[in-house]
Amino acid sequence: MDKHSISKYQEISKIIISKIENGELQAGDKVPSENELIKTYKISNTTARKSLLEVELQGWANRIKGKGTFVLNRSEDKHLTRILGSFNAVKESFNENLIKEGFTPKNIILEKTILENGFSSKVNGRHFIIEGSVLKIHRLRYANDLLLKDEIRYVSMTICPKINVLDLDQAFLKIYEEKYHLKLQQVQRTLGTTILNPGESNNYFDEEIPIAVFIIDGVVMDIDGRVIEIEKSLYRGDKYKFSISAKPLLFDDSKQRTQGI
């Protein structure tokens, strides 16, 4: 291989690493593919492949067969950054996100039962009700044997029959859309905080000192206004950061809404 091609792949790998270092590419983000690099930099497929391999060899990314190359989580405290207000982010699988960032996920199911008389909860100041049979699934979700999330979900079995026998390691929203062909209208989520003390019956984080946790209350509805899912989860406060994603309304849209059009 000639000197120029070696210089080129090193140059491109440095560009990619620079984007990771300055935050343009975050942990779990997909690095541009070989085809994208070929198109952007007008290089051969060999040079593109070597560029991605160099990024991986330097410990900045990890290739997952059949999916692509993803930025690894290299933060000293291994904080996980998750987005609130982004529908696409909510659709991503907890396990898949961890794998992309270089962690090994593990799930422990504490409870998986069917509630015959429905379920109700208040989210964002509003009371939501799931009528009929409800699947309750309570899971502890780990990364590299560290508990990150204590998750409870309540899912309508009237809307999603036999969901209790499906593989629930994938993103629930994908199941609703792909398995049950539901058209989702909105996902409401509220973020709060609390302190869990050692010895509390509901504290599964197994720390000898009080631990701060985020409380996420959420509800998923379809276009007919039916409540599909209610969630109440605890996220370990010393391992999570939440960023806000908001899509501003166009002025004309806002004006039309005000006028009732």
| Domain harbouring 236, CATH code | 3.40.1410.10
Same domain, 88 and 49: no
Q: How confident is the model at residue 249 (pLDDT cuts 50, 70, 90)?
A: low
Question: DSSP states of 175-216 as a string?
Answer: IIIIIS---EEEEEEEEEEEEEPTT-TT--S--SS-EEEEEE
Residue 117 lies in a domain: yes
Please choose, from the candidates 147, 52, 70, the residue with its C-alpha nearest in 3D space to the C-alpha of residue 106: 147
Maximal C-alpha separation, the chain: 71
Residue 261 pLDDT greater than 50, yes or no: no
Same domain, 46 and 122: no
How confident is the prediction for the chain on average, in pLDDT? 89
Domain extent for 142:
80-244
CA-to-CA distance for 216 and 219, rounded, in angstroms? Answer: 10
Q: What is the model's pLDDT at position 235?
A: 96
Give the mean model confidence (pLDDT) for residues 186-207.
Answer: 92
Label residue 10 exposed, middle or buried (CB < 10 Å: 0-12, 13-18, 19+).
middle
Residue 172 lies in a domain: yes
Same domain, 163 and 131: yes
Give the mean model confidence (pLDDT) for residues 63-74.
Answer: 92
Same domain, 21 and 130: no
Those residues with Cβ within 8 angstroms of residue 41's Cβ, 6 or more apart along the chain or in another chain: 8, 12, 48
Other C-beta atoms closer than 10 Å to the C-beta of 233 total 20
Instruction: Please tell me the total count of domains within the chain.
Output: 2
Same domain, 122 and 215: yes
Same domain, 163 and 202: yes
Residue 261 lies in a domain: no
Residue 115 lies in a domain: yes
Q: What is the model's pLDDT at position 259?
A: 40
Same domain, 108 and 232: yes
Give the mean model confidence (pLDDT) for residues 226-254.
Answer: 80
CA-to-CA distance for 141 and 150, rounded, in angstroms? Answer: 6
Residue 17: CATH number of its domain? 1.10.10.10
Same domain, 54 and 87: no
Q: How confident is the model at residue 6 (pLDDT cuts 50, 70, 90)?
A: low
Same domain, 133 and 52: no
Extract the tokens encoding 26: 């975050």
Residue 256 lies in a domain: no
Which tens digit of pLDDT belongs to each residue from 98-129? 999 999 999 999 999 999 999 999 998 899 99
Same domain, 105 and 234: yes
Residue 252 lies in a domain: no
The domain boundary, picked from 71, 100, 120, lies at 71
Q: Give whole-number Cα distances, 85 to 23, 64, 190, 245, in Å.
A: 20, 27, 10, 5
Residue 87 pLDDT greater than 90, yes or no: no
Q: Which long-range contacts (CB under 8 A, 24 or more apart) does 64-68 make?
A: 64/99, 64/100, 68/30, 68/31, 68/33
